[in-house]
């Protein structure tokens, strides 16, 4: 088991108590592509932040192979990507990556060079530009390049393309799938787009309204390329919609 989550609950205490996640049990296998879906505010980002050791759980346990989340981060096991790429505006595209590379060296892992990752995500011609000169889509390509540079076996992705226009989002979603095939990381990917979840993932975890609990864990074995005209695609789509709808009706 690569990621094992047992009896995990989380509350935020900010004046009032918010129960974000409740009693999560989840085992994720190496190289699985797992999509996390569920209503807004149900704790999906909280789960990703807990695994990435950005916060510590109120109750329960997370194991990443033989590590806890803190050790996993220190050992370069986990890379994290969200909507905003957090780039340094005074450095060029290549400069941002070289900085990431310097951190990486300390961890003793790195397969690809800055030039190679830029080539891979289609940004070779933008190496000398500054982040503000890049479109949103190019900025997220740069974030993907940084992810590749980190060479981590686990990618945690919190709606990385949600802020992009539809066409760009589709392109980057395809790019993500192609990267997953080539580099075989374990992916946990939050998306609010059920179609995208079906297209890419081989397992879909559905969360209830807050406090988030897992209400469905659905394998997705539809052969690739997954086209919406495939009856299996439509069947899975209506199954997932049904689960989400039932939950929002309080059933």
Residues in contact with ligand ADP by CB under 6 A are 12, 14, 18, 20, 40-46, 210
- What does 229 bind: Mg ion, ligand ADP, none (CB cut-off 5 to 8 Å by kind)? none
- What does 233 bind: Mg ion, ligand ADP, none (CB cut-off 5 to 8 Å by kind)? none
Task: Return the exposure string of 209-246: e unless at least 16 CB atoms fall within 10 Å of the residue's CB, then b.
Answer: bbbbbbbbebebebeeebeeeeeebeebeeebeebbee
CB of 209 to ligand ADP, least distance (A): 10
Binding status of residue 18 toward Mg ion by CB under 5 A = no
Nearest residue (CB) to ligand ADP, 41 versus 95: 41
Nearest residue (CB) to Mg ion, 75 versus 83: 83
Rounded to an integer, what distance in angstroms lies between the CA atom of residue 250 and that of residue 143? 38
CB of 47 to ligand ADP, least distance (A): 7
CB 144 within 8 A of CB 189: no
Nearest residue (CB) to Mg ion, 28 versus 36: 36
Q: Angle at which helices 136-150 and 93-107 pack, to 10 degrees?
A: 20
Phi-psi sector, 81: left (phi>0), alpha (psi -120 to 50), beta? beta
- What does 58 bind: Mg ion, ligand ADP, none (CB cut-off 5 to 8 Å by kind)? none
- What does 104 bind: Mg ion, ligand ADP, none (CB cut-off 5 to 8 Å by kind)? none
Pairing of β 16-28 and β 33-37: unpaired
Nearest residue (CB) to ligand ADP, 19 versus 239: 19
Structure tokens belonging to residue 179: 């990267």
Residues lying near Mg ion in the complex (CB under 5 A) are found at: 45
């Amino acid at each position: 088991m690569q990621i094992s989550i047992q009896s995990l609950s989380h509350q935020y205490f900010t004046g009032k108590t918010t129960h974000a996640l409740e009693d999560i049990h989840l085992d994720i296998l190496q190289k699985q592509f797992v999509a996390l879906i569920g209503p807004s505010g149900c704790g999906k980002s909280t789960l990703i932040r807990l695994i990435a050791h950005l916060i510590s759980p109120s109750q329960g346990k997370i194991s990443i192979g033989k590590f806890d989340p803190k050790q996993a981060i220190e050992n370069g096991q986990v890379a994290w990507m969200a909507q905003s790429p957090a780039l340094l505006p005074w450095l060029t595209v290549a400069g941002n990556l070289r900085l990431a590379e310097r951190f990486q060296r300390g961890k003793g892992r790195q397969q690809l060079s800055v030039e190679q990752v830029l080539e891979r995500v289609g940004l070779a011609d933008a190496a000398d530009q500054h982040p503000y000169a890049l479109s949103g889509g190019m900025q997220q390509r740069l974030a993907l390049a940084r992810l590749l540079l980190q060479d981590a076996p686990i990618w945690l992705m919190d709606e990385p393309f949600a802020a992009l226009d539809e066409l760009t989002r589709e392109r980057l979603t395809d790019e993500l799938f192609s990267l997953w095939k080539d580099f075989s990381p374990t992916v946990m990917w939050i998306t609010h787009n059920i179609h995208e979840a079906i297209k890419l993932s081989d397992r879909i975890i559905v969360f209830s309204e807050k406090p988030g609990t897992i209400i469905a864990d659905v394998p997705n074995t539809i052969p690739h390329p997954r086209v919406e005209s495939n009856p299996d695609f439509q069947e899975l789509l209506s199954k997932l919609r049904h689960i989400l709808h039932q939950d929002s009706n309080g059933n």
